[in-house]
Structure 1
Amino acid sequence: MKFGKEFAAQMVPEWQEAYVDYSSLKTCLKEIHRRKQQNREPDTQARLQRALTLYRSFSGLNRTQNRRASSFDDHDVESQTILVNSVRGNGSGKYETTFLMVTEEGAEYEQEFFKKLDNELNKVDEFYRSKVKEVMVEADALTDQMHALIAFRIKADKLEEGFVSGSSDQIMIHMNELQGTTDVKQSNNGCQEIQEDDPKKFPSIRLAPQEVLNHVKLNPATSTPAKMNFNRKNLKKIENQLKRAFIEFYYKLRLLKNYSFLNVLAFSKILKKYDKMALRRASKYYMRTLDDSYLGNSDEVTKLMERVEATFIKHFSNSNRSKGMNKLRPKKKKERHRISFGTGFFAGCTAALVLALVLIIHARNILDKEGRAQYMESMFPLYSLFGFMVLHMLMHAGNIYFWRKYRVNYSFIFGFKQGTELGFREVLLLSFGLGTLALISVVSNLDMEMDPKTRDYKALTELLPLSLLMLVVIVLLCPFNILYRSSRFFLLTTLFRCICAPLYVVRFQDFYLADQFTSEVQAFRSLEFYICHYGWGDFKLRQNTCRSNDIFNTFYFIVAVIPYWSRLLQCVRRFYDERDSMQAFNGLKYFLTIIAVCTRTAYGLDRGTSWEALAWTFSAMAAIYGTYWDLVVDWGLLQRQSKNRWLRDKLLIPYKSVYFGAMVLNVLLRFAWLQTVLNLNLSLHRETLTAIVAGIEIIRRGIWNFFRLENEHLNNVGKFRAFKSVPLPFYSDEDEDRTD
């Protein structure tokens, strides 16, 4: 792989603008090379000089530093082409390179190259300085947290053993955990103390009063209630929170170290290319300056990583280095062949079962049988639920594939734990597996003839849809570490927060999942039909009175409104927390959608003229408002002043036609509700038409998902947000005063 591609692949996606613009510098080099080729004439003297270098005296493989230096002084100074100066100011250095060969033809291109090179070095060096300052501030905060944790740990141990200590007790702890490490003696009760016989052995340790706990309290954002209860339960919770904070902090340090290494390597590569194309010897001069810069010479990050490792291993891994480093290092997902095999196997089964279903329907001439209408009314809504689920999962798998292709950091945006996010192969495996089970159930249940004596169907086959639904629920709630438990629990946690929308601070994954549910209204209605069909209907006869039941029709409205109502409450909560007027306008969108859904549902149940007029009015308003919000706010498109006309300034997909096509498709699919008010005669059963419209909405949502996350990713890139903020367990009085 060429370095340019490898360089781009290893970048932190949110920091792309802060890296060396390697491709732009290569473009400058190509222009220099082109000019050199045009102006170059046959130079026999230059060729002779290069040939004579083969006859120079060999100086040995282990020359001393002094001989290298003398060689450099004797020969290289004469051929020096650049002079790099560092202009100090405001605690940072600005680098300016003077090109000495200005008399040569085409020198202006080389001057432009070094000007760009200086700009890139200054940009990278300044960004690196700012990030190092941030992590040093965070290291101080974590140090204070460790002080409070050790004090909390010792007091909890004493209280557990029945010793009540006053505020004057002294705690022997290391007061600067992240600025240096030292060994301490472990006492019988787990407390850390100093051996009194050699106080000079521990110059960095001093007494820390237990009163440190009087100046801190539990952070209300992480503990409810925020009260100091010195017990094992609270201690365990605090340790877990700090453990997560250290892991995330170590991840930041790793990225910073990799950032420095990659940029230094990029400068080295581009300067070697310059020497080769321009026939100069400038790389060693510039690299010496780079090695002396903050980017190339600073070791704060490396030292801080060592101290974080020592602190984490000592306090959170029981001094087990192997265990501690396994937790600190990011977990890289392994691509397993069994996943690919399983996906292909179930995909083949799904295709074969679909073909078998078509052949059975054609061979038995089922579409013309007497029980067709009864089957469509009773069984089709039960199985359509699994069709909606599989389609949504397939769209999500496609989104993951393209997010990875265009380097959208979806794992960070959703807040997944490192190494637990599902790839598109895993999602395809689950979707095709569910599709295979659903199709097996359909083929087994595809029976249009009842028993002539009892006039009922087989109970076993009639219960297949309910059994499959129960299996899905059991797998989703299964506490055992099978079938991606971490992802299942993440989904359940987010689902709970969506249900309790106004009670929790709304995160991205919360309103993203709620948006998915707004496109699964028909799936929720299918769940309602399950309850009615198996609870109040005679499933053996495929008979029920759901459609004519007032309670069912009432919940038919409520079930359709629940996803939009949850999303509306999330907007209200975000407006309360963020004081952002855009959330109020977003809430208005969902309020209009609720009215539109209710009026269309009422018109579907009672074909009245007044309901038709209301359905038309509010549906059109909601569709137009929603389309504008999708394109302008959620996707960030339709910007007239953008350098990409009607699009964004930054695009991940290189083909602009994709964006325009997605916008047109979004508008068309948004108005799929027209079939409910136009009474189109499409020679399709009502349930089939409803399922098609619901499937269209799921496809629209799948397209929306990609561009919504792309826009969120680009916003993170613009603000260089590459880490999630981990709330710390302790909150000091000084922090509270600073906040006020």
Structure 2
Amino acid sequence: MTAEEGGQCEQQFFKSLDNELNKVDKFYKSKVKEVVEEAQNLSKQMDAFIAFRIKVEKAPTRFGFDPPPSSSNMVPMSVFKGDSLSNDSVEENDKNISQEIQEEKPKNVTSNIFASINILNHVKINEAIQTHFPTTKQTELNFSKENLKKIEKQLKQAFIEFYQKLRLLKHYSFMNILAFSKIMKKYDKIASRRAARNYMRIVDDSYIGSSDEVTKLMERVEATFIKHFSNSNHSKGMNKLRPKTKRERHRISFCSGLLVGCTAALVLSLIMITHARNILNKPGRVQYVENMFPLYSLFAFIVLHMLMYAANIFFWRRYRVNYTFIFGFNRGTELNYREVLLLSFGLATLALASIISNLDMEMDPKTGDYKALTELLPLILVALVIAILICPFNILYRSSRIFFLTTLFHCICAPFYKVIFPDFFLADQLTSQVQALRSLQFYICYYGWGDYKLRQNTCKANDVFNTFTFIVAVIPYLSRLLQCLRRLYEEKDPMQGYNGLKYFLTIVAVCTRTAYGLNPVTGWRILAWTCSAMAAIYGTYWDLVVDWGLLQKQSKNRWLRDKLLLPYKGVYFGAMVLNIVLRFAWLQTVLNFRFSLHRETLTAIVASLEIIRRGIWNFFRLENEHLNNVGKYRAFKSIPLPFNYDEDEDQDD
């Protein structure tokens, strides 16, 4: 390479480097401007919160006024204003303020409190604090301790999210400066130059290298949070602002492996017992299968879904899908795939042990007088699982259980709660567990009506049971439809209407298919086949195009999308084909293909295929959501603030 060509290459190199520096600097500056504005808004929110707390926690004094219980509550929140303050200086300043307040004359105390409470004349509380119904209105302040707790909780969450945003910005600045430093060191080494020091001066003089706004804001947020939300307990406040990364524990892996071995051993034992005692050829086997299969298949469906979810978590983490942010999990409390495997194989071990115990008691002549009691084993297992799920003690991942139960409650109460991602994601999972819900329905019938005592199955001959067969099958889809209508009302997004239409078609298909199963005549068969085909085609299109974001003809990855996380494009095409095949698998319940299998077994296989399809759908659905978040620079939850100032309303008008 000639000297002239080398000079041109160097010129192009530094030009590209300058462009990258300008791009990074511009982006960082815009984000710092956003957090400064957000800090000012939080400052105003804290002023209103402190005044609100004074008003609620009032107590008469000899001066005839209502001072707050602590000096910190009387001082307007000013840590976002003025110069940077360290934690020590803030604490020292608080002590000085407290001493001044104690030494002040009653007249000054009264005037300070009036000045603080006067803020409340210019604010209104968001009605969302008080109700779950969709509204954007503001209401007059209701000075109750219940509202104070809600406001404090909401502001605490807002500060934690804001602090995480500041930490990420600081990390962004550090990583980019480090990148420029490494690039220049590499350049000096290859070109035998000493340009790194001079160029790093330019980087240090840029906004991203010289601005300390983020550091100052972090110090102020720490001081404010510790003072007002942690009772001046520094370690407690910092633990909430900076939650520790969850440690991977070897005992989880050991216990999971142990339970995998137990599950495998119990499966082998079940097969050997079945063949050794020739259970499949004994009289009464058909009745026994029809009774026991729906009872125990419930656990098989749940375990399979948990295994798919564990696989989802493994691949989300491997390909850096930010699923903890998408689901809104609390940092450090989310379950990893090892813990999900532990729970799933633990449940599988209990279920298999119950099945073997049931078979053993069934075949043992010594327990012949207690056959009704042997029928209670599945019910005892269900009761145990429910008891663990609602256990209030801090054992077996209480935070995850509370999160699951809360989300499930939101699904049941749709559309009375604002719909967020975990709500409709769980509702989608329930649409793949219709057969499990029907198993629960069978539990109620079999044990509630006393069939287990006579070891009979009269459920399907009962009109009430058949009516609830329709209702139970429709519940997940109806919940999802109501969620779509709620989002359509709030967001005015027509796509939610089209999504709701998909679930409406599915409800019609499920009802006609159920009617055909109860009354297999030609008319119901044609109607069920037509509705099922329409719902399957619509659902498949929505899966591939809307939920996964694929089949984009103009994409640089033809028929896929521009950004892909998986390195192999064939995986996406294979997933699309598999999704279509599994989508149409349950059409065989209408087409009546002949298989040498019991009807209950065939139904369980089709239900299992749907759960597998849902597990595949989960990965690509969250991948698409993650890429959308990355494209929109969305990495933090949007926390609605409790107060609205009068000037904010005027600006909106």
- 2:529–2:591: 8 Å Cα contact kept in structure 1? no
- 2:485–2:497: 8 Å Cα contact kept in structure 1? yes
Distance change >3 Å, CA 221–CA 389, structure 1 → 2: same
Give SS of 2:644's match: strand
Give SS of 1:237's match: helix
**1:644 alignment partner, one of 557, 561, 565:** 557
How far 1:672 sits from its partner (Å)?
Answer: 0.9
Give SS of 2:75's match: strand
- 1:184–1:194: 8 Å Cα contact kept in structure 2? no
- 2:512–2:527: 8 Å Cα contact kept in structure 1? yes
Letter of the 2:614 counterpart:
R
**1:113 alignment partner, one of 10, 13, 24:** 13
Give SS of 1:217's match: strand
**2:254 alignment partner, one of 341, 361, 369:** 341
**2:115 alignment partner, one of 208, 211, 214:** 208
**2:79 alignment partner, one of 171, 174, 177:** 177
How far 1:152 sits from its partner (Å)?
Answer: 1.6
Corresponding residue of 1:57: none
What is the aligned length?
Answer: 628
Letter of the 2:378 counterpart:
P
Alignment of 1:418-497 (within 5 A): 418-446=331-359, 458-497=371-410
Letter of the 2:117 counterpart:
Q
How far 1:312 sits from its partner (Å)?
Answer: 1.3
Counterparts of 2:521 and 2:244, CA distance in 1: 60
Counterparts of 1:196 and 1:549, CA distance in 2: 80
How far 1:448 sits from its partner (Å)?
Answer: 8.9
Distance change >3 Å, CA 667–CA 172, structure 1 → 2: closer
The one-character-per-residue Cα deviations of 1:115-145 (angstroms, maximum 9, x if unpaired) are 2212211111111111111110111011111
- 2:308–2:615: 8 Å Cα contact kept in structure 1? yes
How far 1:277 sits from its partner (Å)?
Answer: 1.5
Give SS of 1:276's match: helix
With 178-187 and 335-344 compared, the bigger mean Cα shift is at 178-187
- 1:455–1:541: 8 Å Cα contact kept in structure 2? no
With 252-261 and 272-281 compared, the bigger mean Cα shift is at 272-281
- 2:361–2:367: 8 Å Cα contact kept in structure 1? no
Corresponding residue of 1:284: 197
- 2:50–2:74: 8 Å Cα contact kept in structure 1? no
Corresponding residue of 1:304: 217
Counterparts of 2:368 and 2:384, CA distance in 1: 29
The one-character-per-residue Cα deviations of 1:87-109 (angstroms, maximum 9, x if unpaired) are xxxxxxxxxxxxxxxx4333333
Letter of the 2:81 counterpart:
Q
How far 1:246 sits from its partner (Å)?
Answer: 1.3
How far 1:386 sits from its partner (Å)?
Answer: 0.3
- 2:362–2:374: 8 Å Cα contact kept in structure 1? no
Distance change >3 Å, CA 553–CA 172, structure 1 → 2: closer
Letter of the 2:101 counterpart:
E
Give SS of 2:597's match: coil
**1:130 alignment partner, one of 30, 41, 46:** 30
The one-character-per-residue Cα deviations of 1:306-363 (angstroms, maximum 9, x if unpaired) are 1111111122222221221112113210111221111111111111111111111122
Distance change >3 Å, CA 152–CA 389, structure 1 → 2: same
- 1:599–1:611: 8 Å Cα contact kept in structure 2? yes
Does 2:641 correspond to 1:728?
Answer: yes
Corresponding residue of 2:462: 549
The alignment's TM-score, normalised by the length of structure 1, stands at: 0.81
With 627-636 and 529-538 compared, the bigger mean Cα shift is at 529-538
Give SS of 2:392's match: coil
Distance change >3 Å, CA 547–CA 206, structure 1 → 2: closer
- 1:457–1:541: 8 Å Cα contact kept in structure 2? no
The one-character-per-residue Cα deviations of 1:203-248 (angstroms, maximum 9, x if unpaired) are xx99934210111122222234944233433323322222221111
How far 1:600 sits from its partner (Å)?
Answer: 1.0
Letter of the 1:173 counterpart:
V
More helix by share: 2
Alignment of 1:216-615 (within 5 A): 216-224=123-131, 226-446=139-359, 458-615=371-528
Counterparts of 1:229 and 1:278, CA distance in 2: 70
Letter of the 2:9 counterpart:
Y
How far 1:186 sits from its partner (Å)?
Answer: 8.7
**1:681 alignment partner, one of 582, 594, 611:** 594
Letter of the 1:505 counterpart:
K
Corresponding residue of 2:50: 150
How far 1:668 sits from its partner (Å)?
Answer: 0.1
Distance change >3 Å, CA 137–CA 209, structure 1 → 2: same
- 1:568–1:590: 8 Å Cα contact kept in structure 2? yes
- 1:388–1:695: 8 Å Cα contact kept in structure 2? yes
Counterparts of 1:143 and 1:584, CA distance in 2: 39
Letter of the 2:218 counterpart:
M
Counterparts of 1:453 and 1:308, CA distance in 2: 71
Give SS of 1:646's match: coil
Counterparts of 1:165 and 1:298, CA distance in 2: 43
Distance change >3 Å, CA 452–CA 483, structure 1 → 2: closer
Give SS of 1:547's match: helix
Counterparts of 2:508 and 2:4, CA distance in 1: 75
Q: Which runs of 5+ in 2 are unaligned?
A: 106-111, 132-137
How far 1:458 sits from its partner (Å)?
Answer: 2.4
Identity of aligned residues (%): 72
Larger radius of gyration: 1
- 2:126–2:643: 8 Å Cα contact kept in structure 1? yes
How far 1:453 sits from its partner (Å)?
Answer: 12
Distance change >3 Å, CA 552–CA 147, structure 1 → 2: same
- 2:188–2:195: 8 Å Cα contact kept in structure 1? yes
The alignment's TM-score, normalised by the length of structure 2, stands at: 0.92
Counterparts of 1:341 and 1:311, CA distance in 2: 43
Give SS of 1:218's match: strand
Counterparts of 2:502 and 2:636, CA distance in 1: 31
Letter of the 1:388 counterpart:
F
How far 1:739 sits from its partner (Å)?
Answer: 2.9
Counterparts of 2:120 and 2:364, CA distance in 1: 77
How far 1:175 sits from its partner (Å)?
Answer: 5.2
Does 2:535 correspond to 1:622?
Answer: yes
With 477-486 and 659-668 compared, the bigger mean Cα shift is at 477-486
Distance change >3 Å, CA 550–CA 161, structure 1 → 2: farther
- 2:60–2:66: 8 Å Cα contact kept in structure 1? no
Counterparts of 1:652 and 1:304, CA distance in 2: 35
Give SS of 1:318's match: coil
**1:719 alignment partner, one of 621, 632, 639:** 632
With 710-719 and 720-729 compared, the bigger mean Cα shift is at 720-729
